[in-house]
Amino acid sequence: MAEMRYNVPDNQWPDHPERATLEGKNKQLGFWVFLGGETVLFASLFATYLALENSVPSDDHLLTYDLFQLELAFVMTMFLLTSSLTSVYAVYHMRNNNFAKMQIWLIVTVLLGAGFLALEIYEFSHFVELGHTFRSSAFASAFYFLLGTHGFHVAVGLVWITLLILRNARRGLSVYTAAKVNTAALYWHFIDVVWVFIFSIVYLLGVI
Amino acid sequence: MAATAQKRSAWSVIWDYLTTVDHKKIAILYLMGGGFFFLLGGLEAMLIRIQLAVPNNDFLSAGMFNQVITMHGTTMIFLAAMPLLIAFMNAVVPLQIGARDVAFPFLNALGFWVFFFGGVFLNLSWFLGGAPDAGWTSYASLAIDSPGHGVDFYALGLQITGAGTLMTGINFVTTIITMRAPGMTFMRMPLMTWTTLVAAVLIVFAFPPLTIALFLLIFDRMFGSNFFIVEAGGNTIIWEHFFWIFGHPEVYILILPAFGIFSEIFSIFARKRLFGYSSMVFATVLIGFFGFMVWAHHMFTTGLGATANAIFGVATMAIAIPTGIKIFNWILTIWGGSIKFTTPMLYALAFIPSFTMGGVTGIMLATVPADYQFHDTYFVVAHFHYVIVGGTVFAILAGLHLYWPLMFNTMLNERLGKWTFWLFFTGFHLTFLIQHWLGLWGMPRRVFTYLDGQGYNLANMVSTIGAVLMAVATLILAYNIVMTIVRNERVGKDPWGDGRTLEWSLPLPVPYYNFAQIPLIRGLDAYQIEKEENNGEMIPSEPLDDFHMPNNSFIPFVMSFGLFVTGFGALYFASGKDWAINAVSNMPVHDWALYVLIAGLAITFISMGVRSWKDDLGYYVKKEELERDLAALEEERGAN
Amino acid sequence: MRNRFKNTKLVGLMTFMLVFLAACGQPELSTLIPAGEVGQEQFDLMMLSVAIMTLVVVVVVIMFTIAVVKSRRSKLGEDFKPKQVAGNHTLEVIWTTIPIILIIILAIPTVYLVFKQADVSSAISQDGQIAEDEIVINVRAYQYWWEFEYPNEGVVTSQDLVVPTDTQVYFTLQGTDVKHSFWIPAAGGKLDTNIDGINHFYLVFDDDKAQEADRLFYGKCAELCGPSHALMDFKVNALPMDEYNQWLADMKTMEEPLEASADDAIEGQEIFNNSCIACHAVSQGGNAGAPGPNLTNFGDRHLIAGYLEHNEENLKAWISDPESLKPGNLMSGTYDLTEEEIEKVAAYLMELSVKEGSGDVSEIEALRESGSEDEDTEEGGEE
């Protein structure tokens, strides 16, 4: 039967299970190409932000140095960087055909990602209380669009990885599921890298 | 499956096409969808030319004229030219590289349906309060100013179709990199495959800036942001940059596959290998690369400053070099060949002088100070129609005749085809050549009328007469297509007799699995090599055995339909909201819109979840079936 | 330096051919009959590129024709086996090098002229300061009309642009509602009126060319700006410097609105003051940027609504239903006048004429001279 060919015996588990089938190989390459497009997407968002940074209609609007708290942004960065590391552990165990440990590290990744998202939501609501809303100025629109798009990507990633954990819980590891886990991990690294740029360009350069 | 040629009910055929993931059937879907929008865009073109035939005409009102030009441009670029080229990419590229399907068959179907629903969404604006009217470029200040929902239809519709195109781009990059048959090295790929690869890469990198620009417009018009609202610190020039960072590579997305189709045609109908293959490949890659460096040449009069204008002007001129290389290579390909004047070859031959004229006016437009005069006049209209009609549309018409037997196993009538060609060719030059002078005489583009006594009357009338000829040519083509389908005279393998690349080595109709055995590729023009050395039989690279194929799926259709619904939800959700721009906030509130928005998103995301949750492992084509098919082919050959 | 390509024989020949091959259009609005330095430079560049590009097209078409004619299968026979040629390095080097050379020939004057024509430093400084002694005109584009402000002289007008000949006229350009583009085809290329910032450039109008065009050039909006984009025309009245100065001086005398004289015009003025004055000024009280065009010298204008013949009939038609003449304009529906009232307002408006020679030109001339003296001393200093 067709499905049988995806289930590789344990002693034949390949070094790169995600690329063991043609479908898997396609998926990895295609996803890299997709991330290439995503890079341009975020580059456009950064360009918009830089063009409109601190561009407000009148003096009574809050600017970058009034708003940003590096402490909070740093904690958020730590959450996301650590979650990137834990997703590496998950992929490591996937390659070693250790399903249980892979699942555990994926769960840790989701929890850390959720922590990041919670902090971001807290930060946004704090900004909104200060009067810095999506509609208050061009600067604010650009800020929320850039960070919001990133935050949306994080949320999508969380749902995606959670669904993977649940769907694979009964299926276990095969070269079919391994390809799925690996693309999710790639995606997670990508949004992590984007955050590093947000932290440096938006937060650090914003307060200096 | 396909081997059983029993008469099937209409519903089962429709269901088959709604759920297909087969690149050959998706190609037919793209051909039908793109063809429909091509006729629609052509109709809009005729309305424009009728309105401008005489001065002070009132055939169309000023507002209606702006809607028609906007929809003509948007439809032709996004919904006609690109999908028609993608139709040929789908029909040909997997066969050309020796693959059984594309890398992501499901995504391929999804890409089509998303494009199609986006196009329908955009065109429904005609019936729902008015089409967009800010030009296909929809520059921000005018787009923000535009009343009603027209521009919202534009932004949301393009957002949806753009997503579909992006999927197709990713798909073809991956397919061409991973799915090539053994021996099909990069430097043995036919030029059609090369240009598809480069165009697909351009799609992947060029569409995201458009996505962002459209989001900025959607948020500003409908959700109260301030990206383009100058009083709130916004900047409208951002739109221009993003639009052209997308828009210029888009031009190459349209022209490179056209170059590919013509390269195939020259080679086939001159019975000669492509002259300077490696420099052709190099030039293609170079054009794609330069395509991203020259966007600001659309903005010389925006006031970016002398330094920016000078740099972008010179960079633009540099594109002439790889393009020139291509033109001369094509001429040298037919030089000393044995030319047969088939319909596709006529288009290809007509393309060389026509496209050269469009190319040289492109260089003229790059001479910045002179461009201050050309910009936004009929000179520019003439220029881009020379490259897009003389390049892309000619290629689509040529490709239609060339690949028709591959797609439908019949031949379009050559006599009618030549009638179409001569009428279209004459009409094209009649319409657009004179427009260069109109521009130089001071006629701006996008004017709904012109006053008497400015010396524009005769030229405009000539232009309209040319457009009528093109319309007649299109009608003859439509008649030709209908008659060919009705007659249904089957042709066999390699119907043109001079096929050189792998796709022509296949039996017609092409089996649903394409290749019973993946062939071994021994050089450029793989089929031609075997014609000379192996009696026209491809050498298999694998033993006859079971292989894996993807399942059909209805999910792409449902997921795309979800986006279509989401579009309406978002559009009407903004109506009457006080945060939207005046033009939208003045409209009546629709309470149901929020539910439609949520329902649309739910349909899309749930079907996405279902797709992800279910294991879709495909099925296996059995050795026995292949043996049966091969035996049947053998028998057929014996009978002939 | 001005006409550096003018004497090139080839260019001259090409120009000649072009004149014969196709009409050059009409002197008041054709880019092919340039009316001054800027337009001339752009025209010369155009002709240089046309010459090079004609050469390219001719070479391609000749090669192409030979290739097609020589290689017909109908002539060579069905059995002819073409020689399979992979490529030819020498040829490829040739057709890469020659285009590079041609492009360099074209790129050098392009870059030179880009910088030359962008140089407005003698009239407008980096931070937007305007030199008092130069001819500077602030252009503001509205849907669908043009406002022209002469900041140094304190004069505002609309729709009819008055410029002096044989000197550089500097423009500052700005859009107020959406983006437009300011274009006087005969005088030179266009520049956009953005809503995000001010653009600068200059044009020159030669007096002899102005005479050929009856001193009236056509101006157009070149960027799609809404339904009536096609009708956003204006007229450019190019006058010799002394007449231009006199016109400015005359305009300056109109600090108070003109008193109407005829009976119906007197009534018309009253109606105007009740219904129209909120948007339309009829005096020079420093009111640039008003919602509607300044009508101080309306009676002297050349066009109604920017594109209709200047007579009372058209004016009445315009006031009664502007929407039918310029769809999407902002005047429609902002007032409610009876037919009788419209007639009176029209009579009043047609009376709004600036009396020629009424102003004291010495003040304006002093402004110019102060500048030229400065220039002299500056130049002297540099030498």
pLDDT per residue over C93-123, tens digit each?
A: 999 999 999 999 999 999 999 999 999 999 9
Q: What is the pLDDT of residues B133-191, one digit of tens each?
A: 999 999 999 999 998 899 999 999 999 999 999 999 999 999 999 999 999 999 999 99
Average pLDDT, integer, range C247-276 = 87
Interface present between A and B (3 or more CB pairs within 8 Å) = yes
For residue B451, count CB atoms less than 10 angstroms from its CB and return exposed for 0-12, middle for 13-18, buried for 19 or more.
middle
Interface present between A and C (3 or more CB pairs within 8 Å) = no
Ordered domains of chain C (ranges, CATH): 9-72+89-117 (no CATH), 135-363 (2.60.40.420)
Distance in angstroms (rounded) separating the CA atoms of residues B485 and B613 = 42
More confident residue, C25 or B213: B213
- In B156-277, the DSSP E strands lie at none
Quick one: pLDDT at residue C368?
A: 80
Quick one: pLDDT at residue C17?
A: 54
Quick one: pLDDT at residue B496?
A: 94
Chain C residue numbers with beta carbons less than 8 Å from the beta carbon of B329 are 87
More confident residue, B381 or C309: B381
Lowest mean pLDDT among A19-33, B89-103, C353-367: C353-367
Distance in angstroms (rounded) separating the CA atoms of residues C383 and C372 = 16
User: Among residues B134, B155, B151, B144, which one has the least CA distance to residue B65?
Assistant: B134
Chain B residue numbers with beta carbons less than 8 Å from the beta carbon of C73 are 271, 338-340
As given in the structure block, the two tokens for residue C58 are 């001719």
Q: What is the pLDDT of residues B589-625, one digit of tens each?
A: 999 999 999 999 999 999 999 998 888 888 899 999 9
Lowest mean pLDDT among B45-59, B63-77, B308-322, C274-288: C274-288
pLDDT category at B570 given cuts 50, 70, 90 is: very high
Quick one: pLDDT at residue C16?
A: 55
Which of B530-554 are b and which e, b meaning 16 or more Cβ less than 10 Å from the residue's Cβ? bbeeeeeebeebeeeeebbbbebbe
- Domain ranges (residues) in chain B: 24-553+616-639
Sign of CA dihedral C375, C379, C380, C382: positive
Q: What is the pLDDT of residues C172-191, one digit of tens each?
A: 999 999 999 999 999 999 99
Quick one: pLDDT at residue A4?
A: 44
Position B451 pLDDT exceeds 80: yes
Residue C138's φ and ψ, nearest 5 degrees, are: -90, 120
Considering only the beta carbons, identify the residue of A22, A52, A57 that sits closest to B227: A52
Quick one: pLDDT at residue C378?
A: 41
Chain B residue numbers with beta carbons less than 8 Å from the beta carbon of C185 are 373, 441-442
Quick one: pLDDT at residue A18?
A: 85
| Residues forming a β-bridge with B186 | none
pLDDT category at B318 given cuts 50, 70, 90 is: very high
Quick one: pLDDT at residue A22?
A: 86
Position B633 pLDDT exceeds 90: no
- Tokens 């044989």: give the residue: C166
DSSP per position, B23-59: HHHHHHHHHHHHHHHHHHHHHHHHHHHHHHSSTT--S
Quick one: pLDDT at residue C9?
A: 56
Quick one: pLDDT at residue A12?
A: 80
User: Of all residues in chain C, what percent carry a pLDDT higher than 90?
Assistant: 53
Fold of B24-553+616-639: Cytochrome C Oxidase; Chain A (1.20.210)
On average, the pLDDT of chain C sits at 87
Quick one: pLDDT at residue C23?
A: 67
On average, the pLDDT of chain B sits at 94
User: Of all residues in chain A, what percent carry a pLDDT higher than 90?
Assistant: 77
pLDDT category at B403 given cuts 50, 70, 90 is: very high
**C63: CB partners within 8 A, 6+ apart:** B328, B331, B335
Considering only the beta carbons, identify the residue of A26, A37, A139 that sits closest to B204: A37
Lowest mean pLDDT among B99-103, C192-196, C242-246, C332-336: C332-336
- How remote is the C-alpha of C328 from its chain's centroid? 23
Average pLDDT, integer, range A145-166 = 96
Q: What is the pLDDT of residues C35-88, one digit of tens each?
A: 999 999 999 999 999 999 999 999 999 999 999 999 999 989 888 999 998 889
Q: What is the pTM of this model?
A: 0.94
Quick one: pLDDT at residue A2?
A: 38
As given in the structure block, the two tokens for residue C305 are 């609504």
CB under 8 Å, gap of 24 or more: what pairs does A1-7 form?
Answer: A2/B548, A2/B617, A2/B618, A2/B619, A2/B620, A3/B615, A3/B617, A5/B548, A6/A174, A6/A175, A6/A176, A6/B617, A7/A174
Average pLDDT, integer, range B213-218 = 96
Quick one: pLDDT at residue A170?
A: 86
Domain A18-52+70-200 is found in CATH 1.10.3720.10: no
Lowest mean pLDDT among A2-11, A163-172, C362-371: A2-11
- How remote is the C-alpha of B273 from its chain's centroid? 27
Quick one: pLDDT at residue C11?
A: 58
Position B277 pLDDT exceeds 90: yes
Q: What is the pLDDT of residues B549-566, one digit of tens each?
A: 999 999 999 999 999 999
Strand order, beta sheet including C199-204: C155-158, C145-150, C135-142, C168-175, C199-204
Average pLDDT, integer, range A40-63 = 94
Lowest mean pLDDT among B73-82, B178-187, B260-269, C124-133: C124-133
User: Does C309 touch chain B if contact means CB atoms closer than 8 Å?
Assistant: no
Minimal C-alpha gap between A33 and chain B (Å)? 6
Distance in angstroms (rounded) separating the CA atoms of residues B92 and B399 = 10
User: Of all residues in chain C, what percent carry a pLDDT higher than 70?
Assistant: 90
pLDDT category at C22 given cuts 50, 70, 90 is: low
User: Does C172 touch chain B if contact means CB atoms closer than 8 Å?
Assistant: no
Quick one: pLDDT at residue C333?
A: 86
Query: Are the C-beta atoms of residues B584 and B221 closer than 8 Å to each other?
Result: yes
Q: What is the pLDDT of residues C359-372, one digit of tens each?
A: 888 888 888 876 55
Amino acid, res. C77: G
Minimal C-alpha gap between C253 and chain B (Å)? 36
pLDDT category at C13 given cuts 50, 70, 90 is: low
Q: In whole angstroms, how large is the CA radius of gyration of chain C?
A: 27
Average pLDDT, integer, range B373-388 = 96
Interface present between C and B (3 or more CB pairs within 8 Å) = yes
User: Does C108 touch chain B if contact means CB atoms closer than 8 Å?
Assistant: no
Q: What is the pLDDT of residues B52-84, one digit of tens each?
A: 999 999 999 999 999 999 999 999 999 999 999
Cβ neighbours around A200 below 10 Å, total = 12
C85–B336: do the CB atoms touch at under 8 Å? yes
pLDDT category at C383 given cuts 50, 70, 90 is: very low
How far, CA to CA in Å, does C49 sit from each of A183, B360, B439, C191?
A: 52, 9, 16, 21
Distance in angstroms (rounded) separating the CA atoms of residues A82 and C8 = 70
A141–B619: do the CB atoms touch at under 8 Å? no
